[in-house]
Amino acid sequence: MASADALSDSPGGLVALLVAMVFVPGWTALRNRGAELCDRLFSPDGLRTPSAIVAKVEERQKMEQVLGVDRGVLAEMRSGIWILSPLLASAAATFLPG
């Protein structure tokens, strides 16, 4: 196991971990709020014709794309790889012998 002194020798890893710890809760809250907004704005209540329902669903999908609600965890990880790369490199340098 690595000690706290070994972790302090790799400031890039600590900074990446700090950024990740700040990013994840904010991203989760923003995604949840975006989903709530889409639910409120594009509720299918009161729609009777299939064409009206399809139009409402298309509008909702466009809004979800604008807000980024439609992206999953893997898509976010691919776009956020810049956070994980220094963390993984630092962890490898800290925990691997030699």
Query: How far is 70 from 23, CA to CA, in rounded Å?
Result: 18
| pLDDT at 1 (0 to 100) | 46
End-to-end CA distance of the chain: 14
Q: What is the pLDDT of residues 37-86, one digit of tens each?
A: 999 999 888 888 999 999 999 999 999 999 888 886 667 767 777 777 77
Q: With a threshold of 0.75, does the pTM exceed it?
A: no
| pLDDT at 73 (0 to 100) | 60
Residues in contact with 63: Cβ distance below 8 Å, sequence separation at least 6, in sequence order: 37, 38, 41, 42
Could you give the number of structural domains in the chain? 1
Question: Domain containing 43: what range?
Answer: 4-95
Task: Count other Cβ atoms within 10 Å, centred on residue 4.
Answer: 6
Highest mean pLDDT of the ranges 10-19, 74-83, 88-97: 88-97
